[in-house]
Structure formats: C-alpha cells, structure tokens
Chains A and B, each alone.
Chain A
Amino acid sequence: MVTSTLGGLRAACGDVAEATVDDTVDGVPARWVAWPGSTEEVSAVLRAAARLGLRVVARGTGTRLNWGLPPTDVDLIVNISRMDAVLAHVAGDLVVTVQAGLRMIDLQNALALHRQRLALDSAGTLIGGTVVGGAVVGGAVGGVGGTVGGTIATAASGPLRYRYGSVRDLLIGITVVLADGTVTRSGGTVVKNVAGYDLGKLYTGSLGTLGVITEAVFRLHPLPEASRWITVPAPDAERAAAAIAAVRASQHEPVALDVDRGAPGDRVTVGVAVEGVTGGIGARAEAVADLLGAAAGALATVTEQPPGWWGRPPHPPQGPAATVSCEPTGLAELLATAPGVLRGSAGAGVLTAGLDDGDRLGAQLAQLRRIATRNGGSAVLRCAPSHRKAGLDVWGPVPALALMRRLKDQFDPEHRLAPGRFVGGI
C-alpha cells in the first residue's frame, strides 16, 4: 500500500519523498512530502491525492504552520518552496505576479530596486524599508520570514495595515488548486476589477482549508522618499489611549499607529510612522510629536529608523500568542487590563498578545476574550505549543459558522485539506 501510494504520487510529481520529522505539522507527523515545481504539478499531485484519499497540508517555509489547531491527520505535505519566481512585475502598473513559494523578503528586495513595495510588513518581511542613494535600507526582523502563500493563508499583517489594509486589501488576483486538482483563478492583473466573485478574500486567512495557493497578484505602492517614527512612552493606558485618539482625530495621515506594552500596569509606548517627500517629512514628524507629547503627558521622540520593537512579534515563534481585536474606543480598557505582552496596530484595532507558556494560558485567553468581546472584538489563540492547545477554545465564538461549513463542503467535500485546523473543526 505504502509503495503504491508513493508510486502514485511520483507519477504526478518528480520530487516526492517520505516525510521526516521536519515535516511535522503542529505535532502531527506526515507520511510523504511532494515538492511540485509548477501549478500544473500541484494540480497533478492533488489529483493523485484525491484518488488515493490522502489528507493534505500545504506549506512554504513553515513559519506559521503552528497557527490554528493541529490538523486531525496529515498524509501528504505539498511543499511549494520551489515555486519561488517573480512571474511579472510591470513597474508602471504597480502590479506584481509571483509564485506562492517566493519568500516575502525576497519579493520586497526585488521590488525595492524599482522603488516599490508590497505595503505588507508582517514579521519577517521588510520593516522600515526605504531607498537611500539607490540602495535599499531596512531589513527583515522576526526570522527569515514566510512565503507569499503562507502570508496569504494566515492573513499575516504588520504596522502598515493602518494605512494600507492587510493581505485582503492588496491581493488582486490568485491561482489556487482545489482538493480535486482543479486549477482555478479569480481576480486578475489590474487593480480595479469587479468581474466575478472575489475569491481571493476567501482564501486569505483560510489556513489552507479551501485549496493550495500557487500564484498571487498584488497591487504595489511606491516606496516613500522619507520615513519618520515618532514614539512616546505614555505613563499609563489611559494616556496612551488619549494619544492614540488624538492621532486618529488629527489630519496627519500616518501610515502606522502602533503600541507596545509589557505587563498590565506597565507604561505603554505609542509609535507613529509618517511617510512622504523629504521636503515635508520633518515638519510633519514634529507636528505629530507635539500632538503625541501633549496627549500622553510625556516627551515624544522623532527617529529616522523604527524603534527596536517595531513589527516584531511580542512572543517566541512557537507562541503562545493571541490575535486580539477591539473597537477603537475599547483600547483604553484593553491596554489597561489585558494579560500578557501587548503589541500591534492600535490604529487598526488589531493587536497581538504574547501569553504565558504555562497553566495560566487558558485563564489568560478567557480574560482576553471577555475584554475583546465587551469592545466589539474577538480573541483567537493564534499559535501555541501543540500540547497547550488541547482542551482550549482556540477560536472563540465565530459568527456565520454554518455558512462557513457549507463553503468548506463545496470546496473540499471530503475534508482532506488541512482537516481540523480552522474554525469549528473545519
């Protein structure tokens, strides 16, 4: 049986091997790994997997394989790392088409040579990138960083989401191979396009439960000529919230509005990034500094480089960490009382809480969820060592879950793609 399965897979894809310990997905061992080199090969592998009834998890660099719940079973890993080409970049159109196995940092470096970027600064991609005298300044933080496909599948984001939105807002076209091997595209290669359903949004953040992402098209933005970071150490949560509200109500148009807080009761650092032309940036940064300082009751500092914590996850790669969202007016309560280490986009109302790797984890998650829910939001245990997830309600309440189940049934009727990783056991 084992031999015939391997044979079937090898007929579909030249590069198939037995899985090693490195291919374990969140504590669940896999049996085989395929390394397809093209969308067509991914399709052939998934057709073979369908025939053989194999459960499949897609992966790139594996940076965020521990997000969500462990899959109930994994037979086959489809590793898309070999598919790492930039397929088309028309600078004048501010659009790029890439294979999903391309690393985000490599994409950003390629774009930076044209003074452009994908305005998505999730951990491991370009943080504070700018071009000085023809050379790219700035670099990756938080590890080597994930692939384009993994970034889409996890909907990872960074400080820039305040101005530019997240993956869903920048993705304009996508190619996905469904569980039965069907190759399917939606969107296109132009920014403005309302032809057909926008399935890219469904795949974004779906943790590989609807299909294997093989190509993506993004809208790009120019790299700014100049950037400044303005930070203020607010003595308490209330004054931090006041500073955030002041920026929000102002007309300074920052690209990021982030916070960084240690334990509850610690001071809260509010950080703002402004970008623009060299001629105007100094005056704009000073104006933001005045506003922040007055609202927070502390001295604000302007720098030409981001503060050390900027864009870095406030937790080790294995977690535990939660994604917390709340309405803007709920920030004061969140910053004052949320357990763990808090960091993230106060502007967008989406933060990360680094939690205890211990017995208190469940209680911390429950408390976070109470605070978030009271303020219109949610708290999801994004990642944690696998044994810690057992027995915890990782997702919390999910609205429209019945519709989501019906969607999964339509896209993957046999539930063979990343079974169990997503909400409601999907």
Chain B
Amino acid sequence: MTHESAELRLLAAEFTARLGPAAVITDRQRLRTYECDGLAQHRVVPGLVVLPESAEQTAAVVRACAAAGVPFVARGSGTGLSGGALPHADGVLIVTSRMRRILEIDPANERAIVEPGVINLDVTKAASPQGWYFAPDPSSQQICSVGGNVAENSGGAHCLKYGFTTHHVLGVEVVTPNGELVWLGGTTRDVPGYDLLGAFVGSEGTLGIATKIVVRLLRESESVRCLLAAFPRVDEAGVAVSKIIADGVTPAAIEMMDALAIEAAEAAVACGYPEGAGAVLIVELDGPVAEVEHTFAAVHRHCTDAGAFEIRVARDAAERALFWKGRKSTFAAVGRISPDYIVQDGVIPRTVLPEVLRCIADLSAGTGVRVANVFHAGDGNLHPLVLFDETKPGEAQAAEEISGAILDLCIAYGGSITGEHGVGMDKAQYLPRMFTDDDLDTMQRLRCAFDPVGVCNPGKVFPTPRLCGEVPGKHKGAHPLQVAGLAEQF
C-alpha cells in the first residue's frame, strides 16, 4: 500500500463520517465513471470522489485535503474540452452535481443566485417565464454546469454581442484552496479592493471552488431575426462577415461552417442546408424592432453583395432553431463522417480569417488529413475538427500534428491557443508559445496568493508550477509539489 492511498483511506473515512456514505465513492468501478471529462483522450481514475451538498461541506472537504497535503480537483458536469477536470490518481475529485439549487431568481435586481452544479440552461428556464435569461450559451448548455462556466469563462455563439461568463457574474462564494469560505465580488457591480472575482472567473479550477454564484440576468430582446446564407466558398462568406462588421453592425452571432462540416451536419441531423454550398453563414440579430429591421436588411444586402447564392430568412422561432440545429450538432455530427476526431479551439484576428483558412486547407491537402471547419466567425474563434481513424497506423499521430500546427498558425497571426475551451491539461504545453516565462511566472504569483502549497487542481494550465516561496504556517520536509512529483526545488 502506498503512502498516498493510506492518506486517501483516512480522508474517505472522515468524509463518510461527515457527509454520509452516499456522498463518498471509493469503489474502483464507480470511480472509473469520473476518469475523464469531455476530453476523453486523457483518463485518470481519481483516488477518491466526494459529492458535497453545501458550501460548508465543500469547505470541510477542502480543509481536510489541504491539511493532508492531498491534491483535489473540482468537477461539475464534466463537459470541459481541455481536461481541466481530469482527476488526480492520488487525489480527491470534488463533484458539485449535488449542489444544484437555484437559490434566487430576481429580475428586479437583474440577477439569479445559483449553486455551482446548476445546469446552464436551467437558469434561463427558471427566468424565462418573467422574460429574462442567462446569456452565456456554450453548445453544451443543456448539460454543462454554471460552476464549470465560471471555471472556464465559457462563451458560446452569442458572446460576440453579449460577452463571456466573466461579463455575467457579479459575485462568487468560494472555498479557497486552504478551505476558507470567502466572497469575491458581491451583488453589485462595484466592490472595493482588487477585482479577485475577475481573476477567479476563467482560472480553470486552480484558485478554489465556487459554491454560490451571482449571475446577471438579461431582458429578452423584443425582436430576433436570423438568416442562413449559402456561399460557393468560404472566401465569399469571409467577405460577407467583413462587410457586416465594417458597416458597424454588431450581430448577436455570426457562425460559419465549411463544406465538410455541412456534410457532417446533414448526415447527422438532416438540417437541409442549401445544396452545393462551400460555406454557410448563420447571422442572428436581436434588439428593438425599430433597430433590427434596418440592420437586418443591411446584413441581407451584404451577404448578397459578397456572393451568397441563396439566403433563407427564418420566419419563426422553429425555423430559427432549425438553422441552429445543424450548427450546434456539428461536433457530434462529425462522428458520422469519421470514426475519430480532435476538436480544436483557436482564435485569430477576424481580418486574417480567409488567409488562415487557406493555410489550414494547405495543411490538410499536404498531409491528406481532413479538417472540417466550424467557427464563431464574428470573433475569429475557430473550431477546426481534425478527422482521423485510430485503427489506421499513423493517422492519430498525423491528426495531432495538424491540430498543433493550427495552434501555431493562430499564434503566428496574433491570436490565441484557446478562445473558450481553456488550457486545462491539454494545452499547458502550448501556453509558453503565447507567453514568456516572466508572463507565466507573474500569473503564478496570483496562484501562489490563493494556493501556496499547490493542492488545488495541480498540473493544469501551467506547464511548470511555481514554488511559492515562504509559505505561511509550517511546512516540514519536502514541498508537496516535490512529493507529488510535479516540481523540483531550484
């Protein structure tokens, strides 16, 4: 028996006594359920799983982990695509799925207060009878948790106009890595002191665990108009996007799919997009009727001018949903045309879109690896789907290489290695291509302020952990990061 498992056994006993047997999982078969998140290439069976029901229980669990020097990882619905919730084999996985209460829906104060396990779409469902909604809408919104949205700073199709999760969170109650329960932010938009809330949102579970979240609610728009435009090639679709933006229009969403992505969506959900399209654009506008009618006409004109050969305008919500069905199902749909695929997430400046797409096409042609492109065209967020067949020798390797080359393209063109899926464990090795050692070291000063002993989701985001110097309180013997094999003392 290893030293770690003895420690986990003690923790399991403590958690069982405190939280009850139903809240603790130690059985190897059941632990396997949690071995990966949405990034299934990486699997680690957690040492122990705990499902607390409240902030106080979560704090107690974290305090026990911190005292024992055992690493812990928080997990919501496990839909993350960068391995941010990948468990630690000798650590505790803290699952928030039993903290699923909506505590307050308060349109008069434009907010809701929810527990971290609440499903994203359920917030909107609870607020919509009164005409309000929660804006962040990642494709996984029917299953992903608000706590996960906070950790990842989730976006979605409509963040072009409405921003990301960070713009829609007023406050979080957090269990810090040493088990303290504190509020960052609050219920108003101006709280004295450093904006720790702003730093916490998007920190990928490395600064603590959110146990209550105050989210902003937005009033539903008076009018929503949506069109689907088909173009012969992605180049013309790209021109249309540029024209719309240059005209000063801020659509709620502009989404693009190329021929291969359309083929996959047709095979999966028969969305009935115009035949022969090399690219389709979905453009959605929302706002007051008097505004939208004018801008929608302009968008229609720009699509025609750019060379759209067919434009369909949604007549009602059902038709709009049909336009979106193809787009939102693309990731899964790719399974219809390829046994395996990698979902990539990179960002480029919108103006270099046609150029970068040509580079990706060249990469694809040069290697024979097929790449389907779907993306949030309005903000240059690409989601290339790199297709391969794991059973064929060398294909997985080639796909990995193309996928990495696409990230290099994003960096070379002044973009980012991730627009919404996060760094997690998947892209930690790529982060130094975007930032210098000094940049990363400075970011880790923040991590050290929250988690001086490095027990909170270690090994994620940063390729090399920073040793935090003088740790308040006692720490005898080797640094826990050394013990965990994650760092060397310099």
Given contacts A249-B219, A280-B291, whether A400 and B163 have CB atoms under 8 Å apart is no
Give A264-294 interface residues, CB cut-off 8 Å to B: 276-277, 279-281, 283-284, 287
Q: Interface-forming stretch among A57-65, A217-225, A312-320? A: A217-225
B27 lies within 8 A of chain A by Cβ: no
Picked from B189, B381, B414, B439, the residue with its CB within 8 Å of the CB of A192 is B381
- Range class of the A interface residue count: 35 or more
Residues of B within 8 A of A325 (CB): 188-191
Chain A: which residue is nearest B206 at the CB level? A197
Q: Say if the beta carbon of A348 comes within 8 Å of chain B.
A: yes
Q: Is B202 within 8 A of A198, CB to CB?
A: yes
The answer, yes or no, to whether A132 is at the interface (CB within 8 Å) is no
Q: Considering the chains assembled together, what is the distance between the CA atoms of A13 and B138 in angstroms?
A: 49
Residue contact B443 to A199, C-beta cutoff 8 Å: yes
Find the B residue at minimum CB distance from A205.
B195
A248 and B196 contact, Cβ closer than 8 Å, known pairs A93-B350, A195-B423: no
- CA A402 to CA B472, docked complex, whole Å: 12
Q: Is the pair B187, A199 in contact by a Cβ cutoff of 8 Å?
A: no
Q: Which A residues, 62 to 92, have Cβ-Cβ distances below 8 Å to chain B? A: 90-92
In the complex, whether A335 has a CB less than 8 A from a CB of chain B is no
Report B184 CB to chain A, min CB distance, Å.
6
In the complex the two chains form, is B190's CB within 8 Å of A378's CB?
A: yes
- Tell me which residues across on chain B come within 8 A of A349, comparing CB atoms: 188-190
Q: Are A401 and B419 in contact (CB under 8 A)?
A: no
B417 beta carbon closer than 8 Å to chain A: yes
- Smallest CB separation, A132 vs chain B (Å): 14
Binding stretch for chain A, among B58-66, B272-280, B387-395, B446-454: B446-454
A93 near B446 with CB under 8 A, answer no
Specify the chain A residue showing the minimal Cβ separation from B194.
A404
Q: Which residues of A contact B439 (CB under 8 A)?
A: 184-186, 196
Q: A190-B380, A202-B195, A403-B182 are in contact. Are A350 and B190 (CB under 8 A)?
A: yes
State the CA gap A155–B441 with chains docked (Å).
25
Does the CB pair A407–B194 fall under 8 Å?
Answer: yes
Given A192-B159, A194-B419, A277-B294: A92 touches B440 (CB 8 Å cut-off): no
Contact A190 B435 (CB under 8 A): no
Q: Which residue of A lies closest to B349 (CB)?
A: A93
For A166, the chain B residues whose CB sits under 8 A away are 189
Distance between Cα atoms of A287 and B196 in the complex (Å): 40
A303 within 8 A of B: no
Query: Does B418 lie within 8 Å of A195, measured CB to CB?
Result: yes
Check if A284 sits within 8 Å of B290, measured CB to CB: yes
Chain A positions 162 through 195: 1 when the CB is less than 8 Å from some CB of chain B, otherwise 0: 0001101100000010100011111011111111
Residue pair A197, B438 in contact (C-beta under 8 Å) = no
Residue pair A199, B349 in contact (C-beta under 8 Å): no
> Considering residues B195, B436, B452, which has the most beta carbons from chain A within 10 angstroms of its beta carbon?
B195
Q: Which residues of chain B are near A188, meaning CB under 8 Å? A: 414-416, 434
Assembled-state Cα–Cα distance A176/B417 (Å): 22
CB distance from B85 to the nearest CB of A (A): 15
Of the candidates A90, A184, A191, A279, the one having the most CB atoms from chain B within 10 angstroms of its own CB is A191
Beta-carbon contact of A190 and B349 below 8 Å: yes
Q: Which residue of B188, B222, B349, B452 is within 8 Å of A327 (Cβ)?
A: B188
A110 at the interface (CB under 8 A from B): no
Q: How far is B420's CA from A260's CA once the two chains are assembled, in angstroms?
A: 40
Q: Indicate whether B429 reaches chain A with its CB closer than 8 angstroms.
A: no
Per the bound structure, the CA–CA distance linking A194 and B148 in Å amounts to: 14
Q: Is A396 an interface residue (CB 8 A)?
A: yes
The answer to whether A178 touches B442 (Cβ under 8 A) is yes
Which 9 pairs show the lowest CB-CB distances between chains A and B? A201-B198, A222-B248, A280-B290, A251-B222, A410-B445, A325-B190, A193-B416, A184-B442, A92-B351
B residues neighboring A (CB under 8 Å):
107-110, 131, 152-153, 155, 159, 163-164, 166-167, 176, 180, 182-184, 186-199, 201-203, 219-222, 242, 245-246, 248-250, 287-288, 290-291, 293-295, 347-351, 376, 379-381, 414-423, 427, 431, 434-436, 438-443, 445-450, 452, 461, 468, 472
Pairs A–B under 8 Å by Cβ, sample size 30: A91-B246, A92-B245, A92-B351, A168-B195, A169-B166, A184-B441, A185-B439, A186-B439, A186-B443, A192-B416, A194-B152, A195-B418, A195-B427, A195-B435, A197-B199, A198-B201, A201-B199, A251-B221, A276-B290, A280-B288, A280-B291, A326-B188, A349-B189, A377-B186, A396-B192, A399-B182, A403-B182, A404-B194, A411-B445, A424-B193
